[in-house]
Amino acid sequence: MPSRKKPTMFASAFFTCLCSFVMICVALATQSWMHSELRFSQSNSSVTVSLTYGLFSGTCEQFVDAGLHVPEKTFQVADNLGNTNAKRTITAIIVILVLSLLSSLLSSGFTCTNAVSNPYQTFLGPIGVYTWNSLCGIFILITMILFPVNVQGNGLSRELAHGCFSLLQTHIKSSHTYGYSYWIMLLIILLNIASIIIIYFYDHARYSKKKEQERPIENATKDVILF
């Protein structure tokens, strides 16, 4: 069974790893990680700033209670943050996502190699797939933790709002909605888990077959001894 099923199962794992790689690229490229509404008090009115941004760029617009509206404009996240904790955390998130991208790429390579050939090196087999998928999942999980910490703890949205509109005064309140670019992270983790499960079933079936093949030899040895 394992020999017949090996190309199919590793091809299935390759597909999940490839999907994971594509999803990470989408998460890096899109700017729908966060939508924030921030309210600031001015001397005689209130101002609401609406932000939608990702890891590299975003858009912002301003609404004044008096009825004025500042048109939407595009900004670069790094330019609006300066040398702050929020910027350092965003940089760390990008680095971690790039590492997860490399892990996913290596996992795709390993599963593809096993689908078309039978490498002798142990690490190029199931162990390598387990390792790179696990690392990718860990990196993605760290990203999912760091980004909310950056928004809530380091005031990422507030700093970006001040970078867009420098005349803002006292911050009153804010609301945050995580976009699809952030929730894609969950799908990536599930794809990594699926890859590990597929290879585990193949590895377990191969081990069971190996044990079954060893039993007749063990029984024959006992029979010879009794004789």
Strands 34-41 and 170-178: antiparallel
Helices (H), 84-177: 85-116, 126-152, 156-164
Q: What mean pLDDT, rounded, does the chain reach?
A: 84
Q: What is the DSSP letter of 209?
A: H
Tokens of 213: 């093949």
Q: What pLDDT, in 10s, does the model give residues 18-72?
A: 999 999 999 999 989 999 999 888 777 788 899 999 999 999 998 887 667 778 8
Q: What pLDDT, in 10s, does the model give residues 129-158?
A: 899 999 999 999 999 999 999 999 999 999
- How do the domains of the chain map onto residue ranges? 4-200
Q: Is 57 helix (H, G, I), strand (E, B) or coil?
A: strand
Q: What is the DSSP letter of 44?
A: S
pLDDT of residue 25: 95
pLDDT beyond 80 at 223: no
Tokens of 198: 């597929």
pLDDT of residue 227: 44
Question: ∠ CA 75-52-32 to the nearest 5 degrees?
Answer: 110
Rounded Cα gap, residues 32 and 101, in angstroms:
19
pLDDT beyond 90 at 104: yes
4-200 sits in which CATH class? mainly alpha
Q: What share of the chain is helix, strand, coil (3-state, %, to 5)?
A: 65, 20, 15
Rounded Cα gap, residues 37 and 48, in angstroms:
7
